[in-house]
Amino acid sequence: MTATEPAPKVSPFQADLREYLAHLGVERGLSEHTLAAYRRDLNRYARFLTARGRDHFSDVTEGDVTDYVEALRSGSDGGHPLSPSSTSRAVVAVRGWHRFATLEGRTEHDPAATVRPPSGVKRLPKAISTDEVDKLLAGASMADGVLGLRDRALVEVLYGTGARISEAVGLHIDDLDLDREAPSLRLFGKGRKERVVPMGRFAVEALEAYLVRARPVLAQGGRGSSVAFLNQRGNPLSRQSAWAVLQTAAERGGVQAHISPHTLRHSYATHLLSGGADVRVVQELLGHASVTTTQIYTLVTPDTLREVYAASHPRARG
């Protein structure tokens, strides 16, 4: 650039952005990786505002912000369309920048304050098939000696009652009612809310085998805990250890799907509803405060759509 050439014009937004990014780096201590993401998202936003003829934060309206959200999703501003999760990240960055500008006195109103990130695509909870449940149970039984009995009982309880992992490892001996006529578990959910859940024959038999043949052996090394599931030292089994039990059982059983404690809870609910259970009954069994939470399991899967179509439509049968 020669002495006679004018310096390139820097928009007010670009100057403010440099200050905001410096604030994030120094005051908030954000990493370089996170700052780079903020810089990329907010540079795009600054270009969007400039193209609309906005020169200062006081010029920006809530409509500008909501239109930008739509531009992120559609690419109508000339940029790449973003996924819902990436759009949400960019909206968070925009809201933070406007909040900073308001606090710094650059504008008296915050047009982004009420703009919310778009909700993501609602996905079905991941459930495994009954065949995969059988493989998981077989894998749990492969552990050595008393641990195999414990692990089998734990998996049977998680799948057979829909218990959360915290509820299962928190079970005490007094919470188990193995009466053959009406076996049940007493579970304490969120907020210590109590519920009683029936158990099937397989879970009862696995628990009996564990309690009679394995738990007394494990308890020898502990301090007389009344918790049902114990580790090798005789202490209560932790959530992390219970998670590891499932991972190992999945590997040994050859289960290809990702397995977590919540996978079994999801599978329990999905299989109940597929078998004709009423959604409000499943709500009670899961300990959901609202039936809305349970209703996600009633979403129709692509496999169900194909089965109903094949069985019901006259042109589907060949």
pLDDT tens-digit map of 116-139 = 877 655 555 678 999 999 999 999
Q: Which of 95, 98, 265, 271 is catalytic?
A: 265
Residues 266, 271, 274, 277: is their CA dihedral positive or negative?
negative
Active site residue 262: yes
Active site residue 159: no
Comparing C-alpha atoms, which of 115, 99, 5 is closest to residue 57? 99
Comparing C-alpha atoms, which of 232, 238, 228, 211 is closest to residue 220? 232
Query: CB–CB of 263/128 below 8 Å?
Result: yes
Query: CB–CB of 138/253 below 8 Å?
Result: yes
Distance CA 261, CA 114 (A): 37
Q: Which of 45, 68, 268, 297 is catalytic?
A: 297
Residue 8's pLDDT is what? 46
Domains and CATH numbers, the chain: 12-103 (1.10.150), 130-307 (1.10.443.10)
Q: Which residues of the chain have pLDDT under 70?
A: 1-11, 119-125, 298-308, 313-318
Active site residue 266: no
CA distances to 80, 87, 166, 198, 252 from 273, in Å: 41, 34, 24, 16, 29
Active site residue 297: yes
Residue 32's pLDDT is what? 86
pTM comes to 0.59
The DSSP line for 232-249 is TTSSBPPHHHHHHHHHHH
Residue 289's pLDDT is what? 78
Q: Which of 152, 164, 215, 266 is catalytic?
A: 164
Residue 317's pLDDT is what? 59
Q: Which of 262, 280, 306, 309 is catalytic?
A: 262
Query: CB–CB of 178/152 below 8 Å?
Result: no
Active site residue 288: yes
Query: In whole angstroms, what separates CA 235 from the centre of its chain?
Result: 29
Comparing C-alpha atoms, which of 188, 125, 197 is closest to residue 160? 197
Q: Amino acid identity of 13?
A: F
Q: Which of 18, 40, 190, 258 is catalytic?
A: 190
Helix (H, G, I), strand (E, B) or coil at 227: strand
